[in-house]
Amino acid sequence: MLSIGKKKLIIYPILLGLAFVVADQLPLAQIRYQENTTNSNTETTSSTPEKLLHLKKPKYVRGIYLTAASAGSDDYRQTLITKLKKGYINSVVIDIKDYSGYILYDSQIAEVNDIKAKKIKMDVRQVIDDFHAADIYIIARQTVFQDPVLAEAQPELAFHNKSGGIWYDNKKLAWLDPAKEKVWEYNLNIAKEAVSLGFDEINFDYMRYPSDGPMASLAYNLAPEQQKYEVMKSFYQYLSRNLAGVTNLSIDMFGLVMDNTKDNYDLNIGQRLIDALDYFDDISPMMYASHYPKTYLGYTNSAEYPGPVVAYGLDLASTTTENRRAKIRPWLQAFSIGAVYDKEKIKAQIKATENASSTSGWLFWNARNVYADYMFVE
Residue 372 lies in a domain: yes
**Is residue 45 within a helix (H) or strand (E), and if so which, with residue range?**
strand 44-51
What CATH number corresponds to the domain at position 292?
3.20.20.70
In a domain, 35, yes or no: no
Alpha carbon distances (Å) from 3 to 14, 300, 320: 21, 16, 18
Average pLDDT over all residues of the chain = 90
Q: Does residue 179 sit within a domain?
A: yes
- Angle, alpha carbons 173-176-181 (nearest 5°): 165
DSSP for residue 51: E
* pLDDT interval class at 51 (50, 70, 90): low
Q: What is the pLDDT of residue 53?
A: 83
- How confident is the model over 114-167, as pLDDT tens digits? 999 999 999 999 999 999 999 999 999 999 999 999 999 999 999 999 999 999
Residue 25 pLDDT more than 70? no
- Greatest pairwise CA separation for the chain in angstroms: 82
89's torsion region: left (phi>0), alpha (psi -120 to 50) or beta?
A: beta
Phi, psi of 297 (to 5 degrees): 60, 15
| Total-model pTM | 0.88
Instruction: Give Cβ neighbours of residue 313 (< 8 Å, ≥ 6 apart).
Output: 255, 258, 259, 285, 287, 330
Query: Is residue 324 predicted with pLDDT exceeding 50?
Result: yes
pLDDT tens profile 227-286: 999 999 999 999 999 999 999 999 999 999 999 998 889 999 999 999 999 999 999 999
In a domain, 46, yes or no: no
Indicate whether 47 belongs to any domain.
no
Does 113 map to a domain? yes
Give the Cα separation of 163 and 32 in Å (integer): 59
- For residue 215, is it within any domain? yes
Tally the domains of the chain.
1
* Residue 101, in any domain of the structure: yes
Segments forming the whole domain that contains residue 343? 6-26+53-376
Q: Looking at residues 348-365, what average pLDDT do you find?
A: 97
In the prediction, which pLDDT does 336 show?
A: 98
Instruction: Please report, rounded to a whole number, the percentage of residues in the chain having pLDDT higher than 70.
Output: 86
